Amino acid sequence: MKGLLGTVLIGLLLLLGGGTAGAHSELVSSTPAADSILESSPAAVELVFNQAIQQQFATVKVVAADGGQWGESTPTVAGERVQIAIRAGLPVGDFTVGYRVVSQDGHPISGSYTFRVASPQIAHPGIGTTPASVTPPAAPQSGSADDGDNMMTTWTLAAAVAGLVVGAIVVVFRGTRKDTNTDPADTKHS
């Protein structure tokens, strides 16, 4: 009985102690923001991560819909910020920012998002047209397709811990409970 209880407690400690080891490096914001519509070309793309990034493993590409590369060859890294300059003459259209970096603790981070450079409309007097609107920056993007999985993993882990705690309590109470319902008058007489 004590062995089972010890095993359950060690399992709980391992599950609870592993919280920081399960932390993932991720993209927390970007400029331009994901899915934004810009009225003019940006001079650079900046990615901000939740951990410092290793310079030698940072790769960022800015690619047009036709496959043309618009980012300069080498991104610059300053702590958790990675920036790549965009070549002059960025045309109107959709662009994909793709990145693959490695955080200081060795975790690879990769992902992509899009933004659009739109041609501003010219207002003609009397026609009622207005300049193109700009979409407000999107919420910070993690760039990771498994963010929903990370949240699900957290809830699964919490449910597992709760189940182990309940199981440990049941084991302890079953092992220590005395049979108090035994009444000498209830015994069979032959």
Range of the domain at 151: 146-176
Q: Is residue 89 part of a domain?
A: yes
Q: Is residue 184 part of a domain?
A: no
What is the mean predicted confidence (pLDDT) over 46-50?
97
Residue 70 has pLDDT above 50, yes or no: yes
Instruction: Name which of 46-50, 87-91, 130-134 the model is least confident about.
Output: 130-134
Q: What is the pLDDT of residue 25?
A: 84
**Per-residue pLDDT reduced to its tens digit, 144-183:** 434 444 444 444 445 555 666 666 676 666 765 555 555 5
d(CA 148, CA 22): 15
- 68 and 96 fall within a common domain: yes
Q: Which residues pair with 29 in a beta bridge?
A: 48
Report the run of H or E that residue 159 belongs to, with start and end.
helix 147-176
Three-state DSSP state, 170: helix
Instruction: Tell me the pLDDT band of 73, cut-offs 50, 70 and 90.
Output: confident
d(CA 132, CA 123): 10
Three-state DSSP state, 143: coil
Q: Is residue 90 part of a domain?
A: yes
Instruction: Tell me the pLDDT band of 136, cut-offs 50, 70 and 90.
Output: very low
Q: Is residue 86 part of a domain?
A: yes
What is the mean predicted confidence (pLDDT) over 31-50?
96
Q: Mean pLDDT, the chain, as a whole number?
A: 72
Q: What is the pTM of this model?
A: 0.55
Q: Is residue 14 part of a domain?
A: no
Asked whether the CA dihedral 155, 158, 164, 167 is positive or negative, the reply is negative
- 74 and 157 fall within a common domain: no
- 154 and 73 fall within a common domain: no
- Between the alpha carbon of residue 14 and those of residues 10, 101, 144, 164, 165, the distances in Å are 6, 30, 27, 12, 13
Q: What is the pLDDT of residue 155?
A: 43
For residue 123, what are the contacts with CB-CB under 8 A and spacing of at least 6?
129, 130, 131
Task: Find where tokens 């399992």 sit.
Answer: 11
With residues binned 3-state (H G I as helix, E B as strand, rest as coil), the percentages for the chain, rounded to 5, are 25, 25, 45
Q: Is residue 60 part of a domain?
A: yes
Q: What is the pLDDT of residue 111?
A: 97
What amino acid occupies position 5?
L
